[in-house]
A and B are shown apart, each in its own frame.
Chain A
Amino acid sequence: MPQTTIYVSPRSLGAPDQRPPAVVTVDLARLFAGNAALAGVSLTVEAGRAVALLGPNGAGKTTLLRLLATAIRSSFGTARIDGLDLDRDAALVRARVAYLSHDTGLYDDLTARENLDFAATMLGTPDRRVRVARALADMGLSDRADDRVRGFSAGMRKRVALGRILLGQASLVLLDEPTAALDDEGVGLVAQLMAAWRDVGVTVLVASHSTDRLEPHLDARVTLDRGLVSDVDGMGVISTPVGVPAERRVVVATR
């Protein structure tokens, strides 16, 4: 298969040192009914970096990505993306962030092309038809483009979802287990994507169990454990250890 460049963005985002940090979180935490999925993460990620999130299941990788994607709200703490506050400027943040989750968010009864065409309309992609065709081609889906997604394997669906990211103009890409269910060729595509994003200056956070093929494209590795950062390795990421105990509030007497 010819190695053509993947069309990632019509513009370059500028030199990393002239941009605000892509991600700044301060004591970011998220509690669910039973547990602290994220117990307090303070990270700063330089613009244009590619960072891997490592850690066992339940460590908080998915929760962190979902928080940054504005898919869920935080319980405590703050976060800024490109300097924009996650809670207050959620709509603006959404325009700059692309998120690949465990679920692909595709419509079963629509074809791959129709799914991407819908996404392109929602994203406001210019030259929609051309861009959709290009995205399909870049993801190796051209021959299945007009088949309904219902019949697709998990790996194929992932490719469509990745194709959707290509249609946007994100400056921060969040990938949750992008290589899971992908065959060798698919993993190669993800590696190509990361190379293309680096060229343009897109910041990438990728949560993964196995990052072998992606290693050459990574700047740093952050390991999470039980909702906290346990290790940071590489360039472009700083983690501040969280103090103990967390902020406490006095129970106000009710009389």
Chain B
Amino acid sequence: MSTLRREATLALAIARKDARAELRGRHAAVGALFFSAVVLLLFGFALGPDAARLAAAAPGLLWLALIFAGTLAVSRLHLLETDDGALDQLALYPVPRRAIYAGKALGGFAIMLVLGLVVLGAVGILFAVDVGGALLPLLATVVLGTIGIAAVGTFYAGLTVRLRAREVMLPLLMLPVLAPLLLAAVKATSAALGGDPFGELGAWLQLLAAFDVIMVAAGAATYGYLLED
């Protein structure tokens, strides 16, 4: 079996293990989902009730909600590894570090994607934006954006899971790095919803894709260092 195939198998095994634990009662996804709903509601209170203003702000609110909920989700995904020192055990297997990263990031992405789709629908309903009219570009944006959040989040969650002030450090470290993703995703969403009058949608999606590639590569290259103790 070639190394790449072996690594892919290992990564999938890790993701599957996380999925199983998740379905059996970890509630990382469910917690994050409810959290994002609450966040959206609060946004509505803070910026409403003017429907026009909310509709204009909708792209930003969508991605803010996703990033905040995403922080929660990745942190819980790594928290499951504190079960009885599971992360330490994971680090001891003769498995390439980037495969471990890939596996955890994959699990994170799965949760983020579900989150993204649900929040997209919720934003459409709550803030009266026509999601259905621009479904394809919106889906593309959600997919690319959630890949980036998962990639960056997994990396920082792994780093902070062993630290003292981890609840504070995770968002503190993660959010500034996500700023360009936030910018690009919001711009792309905005463009998609508005019918892309300036033809900028493609550019923003490319920026998102580039961000994803770079961050996944960076995470894979450095995850090994954060596992060592």
Among B66-114, those with CB < 8 Å from A are 80, 83-86, 88-95
Known A99-B92, A109-B21; contact A71-B229, beta-carbon cutoff 8 A: yes
Q: Which of A15-23, A120-128, A239-247 contacts B (4 or more CB under 8 A)?
A: A120-128
Q: Are B20 and A114 in contact, CB atoms less than 8 angstroms apart?
A: yes
Q: Which of B10, B84, B228 contacts A103 (CB 8 A)?
A: B84
A7 contacts partner chain B, Cβ-Cβ < 8 Å:
no
B9 contacts partner chain A, Cβ-Cβ < 8 Å:
yes
B170–chain A nearest beta-carbon distance, Å: 22
Task: Give the bracket for the number of chain B residues in contact with chain A.
Answer: 20 to 34
Q: Are B93 and A108 in contact, CB atoms less than 8 angstroms apart?
A: no
B57 contacts partner chain A, Cβ-Cβ < 8 Å:
no
A72 contacts partner chain B, Cβ-Cβ < 8 Å:
yes
Q: Are B229 and A73 in contact, CB atoms less than 8 angstroms apart?
A: yes
Q: Are B83 and A118 in contact, CB atoms less than 8 angstroms apart?
A: no
B164 contacts partner chain A, Cβ-Cβ < 8 Å:
no
B contact residues around A101 at 8 Å (CB): 85, 88-89
Q: Are B88 and A71 in contact, CB atoms less than 8 angstroms apart?
A: yes
A69 to B94, CA, bound (A): 12
Task: Give the bracket for the number of chain A residues in contact with chain B.
Answer: 20 to 34
B contact residues around A157 at 8 Å (CB): 84
Among A118-162, those with CB < 8 Å from B are 118-119, 121-124, 148, 157
Contact with B along A87-103 (1 / 0, CB 8 A): 00001001100010111
Q: Are B85 and A118 in contact, CB atoms less than 8 angstroms apart?
A: no
Among B1-58, those with CB < 8 Å from A are 6, 9-10, 13, 17, 20-21, 24-26
Among B141-197, those with CB < 8 Å from A are none
Main secondary structure of the interface of B (DSSP, over half): helix
Q: Are B92 and A70 in contact, CB atoms less than 8 angstroms apart?
A: yes
B226–chain A nearest beta-carbon distance, Å: 14
Q: Are A107 and B94 in contact, CB atoms less than 8 angstroms apart?
A: no
Q: Are A122 and B84 in contact, CB atoms less than 8 angstroms apart?
A: no
Known A109-B26, A110-B21; contact A122-B93, beta-carbon cutoff 8 A: yes
Known A104-B84, A104-B85, A122-B13; contact A148-B24, beta-carbon cutoff 8 A: yes
B contact residues around A106 at 8 Å (CB): 83-84, 86
A71 to B178, CA, bound (A): 32
A contact residues around B88 at 8 Å (CB): 71, 101, 103, 105
B126–chain A nearest beta-carbon distance, Å: 33
Q: A118-B17, A121-B13 given; name 17 further pairs at CB < 8 Å.
A: A71-B229, A73-B228, A95-B94, A103-B89, A104-B84, A104-B85, A105-B88, A108-B83, A109-B20, A109-B80, A110-B21, A110-B24, A121-B10, A122-B10, A122-B90, A123-B94, A124-B94
A-B contact pairs, 30 of them (CB 8 A): A73-B228, A94-B94, A102-B85, A103-B84, A103-B88, A103-B89, A104-B84, A105-B85, A105-B86, A105-B90, A106-B84, A107-B21, A107-B80, A107-B83, A108-B84, A109-B21, A109-B25, A110-B20, A114-B17, A118-B17, A121-B13, A122-B10, A122-B90, A122-B93, A122-B94, A123-B93, A123-B94, A124-B6, A148-B24, A157-B84
